[in-house]
Amino acid sequence: MFARKAASPTSPLHTIALCFIVALIEGFDLQAAGIAAPHIAMEFGLSAVQLGWFFSVGLIGLLPGALFGGWLADRLGRKGVLIAAVLLFGIFSLLTAHAGSYSMLLLARLATGLGLGAALPILIAVSSEVADGGLKSTAVSLTYCGVPLGGATAALMGVLGVGDDWRLIFYVGGIAPILVAGLLAMFLREVPVVRSNSSSERGSAVTGLFAQGRTTATLLIWVSSFFTLAVLYMLLNWLPSLLVSLGYDHVQAGYVQILFNIGGAAGSILTGRLMDRASPILVVLSTYLGMLVALAAIGLVQRFDLLLLAGAAAGFCAIGGQLVLYALAPMLYPVDIRATGVGATVAVGRLGSMAGPLVAGQILALGTGGSGVLFAAAPGLLLSAGAALALMRGQRRDADSAGACAATKAVGQP
């Protein structure tokens, strides 16, 4: 299924498994803030706007983490930078549990975000690099499905009442990555980074993202990532509170969040497989249309069983849409700037992930309620879908042109 690299004694499947475990813990930590938020708000006396900053400050750390994590991985190697990132978010997750004030809470979440941000682009780059050419999207999806599954684990802890002691969630989110860093040190083999003689090597990594006709593709994937992650992280952070504002209790909200993440894991795997086997354009259309319908259903349905179905569908489509972008990003850039390109895509998406929770907090402060927040997401989804479709059409035209050139050369040969 996956290509075996001669320079690495560890099989590609083992590498994918290690990347999945890191993604699982990352998803747990990202979701932990939303699970612990009601208890933190009560203990520290936080307003809706302050709670929005609690969500967003960790996401602020994701931005420079993704940028510099990918850049360092292209220069120092994937393994060492990944281990450092995992240790960073593990240690500061533990420190979150010991925060004694609102300012210390924000500082700990900011540093946690730095480590989380650095890890994700490396995971995506590594999983794409160890896979056969026709299975790269599938490999990325198998890694990335760990993020929603980790979120589902955190949500399950909340349903079981473990979240009543909010510090326990951050203890789990801190100890687990420190242990996994040891596994990475022992079993993860460095994926060789092959330097090319292209112009991207002669220039800086950042300018390479815009060299050789890559400007349009880079800008389009950035736009799509921004708006997709704005909606996704609005849901990841605010979904329990939004559902409570719509009249559901905390246990019901927890079950919806569990299904949101389980649906997201299924969406990640299936979307990645369809990207390799079916029409990518059709995948994008169905994914973003499904997001619009699911968000409307969450705000409108009156029956709890239908709400559970809507939550699963929202997770399936929202995380599936994010997977589409993460699967495309490694294919846009040569190997010598691949982690930098993925990191830049993730970083711009993180700007959206910061904006989403903040905008939701402001909308709730205006008194529009949970339904208003859900419907406010529609314009961003339409922009994201349009950018993703334009990117895929451009990639298909480039592929057709390259094929035509190759065919012409072949005909001209004696």
The mean pLDDT of the chain is: 83
Q: Which residue has the higher pLDDT, 382 or 360?
A: 382
Report yes or no on 209 lying in a domain. Answer: yes
Report yes or no on 411 lying in a domain. Answer: no
At 82 the pLDDT is 95
Residue type, 326: Y
At 408 the pLDDT is 45
pLDDT surpassing 90 at residue 316: yes
pTM of the model: 0.76
Give the Å distances, CA to CA, from 263 to 214, 251, 307. Answer: 33, 18, 13
At 182 the pLDDT is 92
pLDDT surpassing 60 at residue 406: no
Question: Mean of the pLDDT values across residues 120-143?
Answer: 86
Q: Which residue has the higher pLDDT, 92 or 198?
A: 92
Question: Mean of the pLDDT values across residues 178-192?
Answer: 86
**Residue that the structure tokens 């450092």 belong to:** 84
Q: Is 195 helix (H, G, I), strand (E, B) or coil?
A: coil
Report yes or no on 2 lying in a domain. Answer: no
Share of the chain above pLDDT 90, in %: 30
In this prediction, residue 80 has a pLDDT band, given cuts at 50, 70 and 90, of very high
Q: What is the CATH number of the domain that holds 89?
A: 1.20.1250.20
At 115 the pLDDT is 94
Report yes or no on 147 lying in a domain. Answer: yes
Report yes or no on 6 lying in a domain. Answer: no
Report yes or no on 197 lying in a domain. Answer: no
Q: Which letter, b or e, does each residue of 65-92 get, where b requires 16 or more Cβ atoms within 10 Å of its Cβ?
A: bbbbbbbbbbeeebbebbbbbbbbbbbb
Report yes or no on 3 lying in a domain. Answer: no
In a 13 Å sphere around the CA of 369, the CA atoms on its Cβ side amount to 9
In this prediction, residue 112 has a pLDDT band, given cuts at 50, 70 and 90, of very high
Q: Which tens digits make up the pLDDT trace of 17-76?
A: 999 999 999 989 888 887 888 888 888 998 878 887 887 788 788 889 988 998 898 888
Which residue, among 308, 318, 186, has the nearest Cα to 264 in the 3D structure?
318
Domain count, the chain: 1
Share of the chain above pLDDT 70, in %: 88
Angle, to 10 degrees, between the axis of helix 250-277 and the axis of helix 136-144?
A: 170
187-191, 211-215, 224-228: segment of lowest average pLDDT: 187-191
* Domain hosting residue 32, numbered range: 12-188+205-400
74-88, 173-187, 201-215: segment of lowest average pLDDT: 201-215
pLDDT surpassing 90 at residue 206: no
Q: Which of 108-112, 326-330, 409-413 reaches the highest mean pLDDT?
A: 108-112
At 201 the pLDDT is 46
In this prediction, residue 317 has a pLDDT band, given cuts at 50, 70 and 90, of very high
Contact 13, 5 (CB under 8 A): no
Report yes or no on 246 lying in a domain. Answer: yes
Q: What does the DSSP 8-state code read for residue 413?
A: -
Give the Å distances, CA to CA, from 140 to 29, 108, 272. Answer: 20, 29, 7
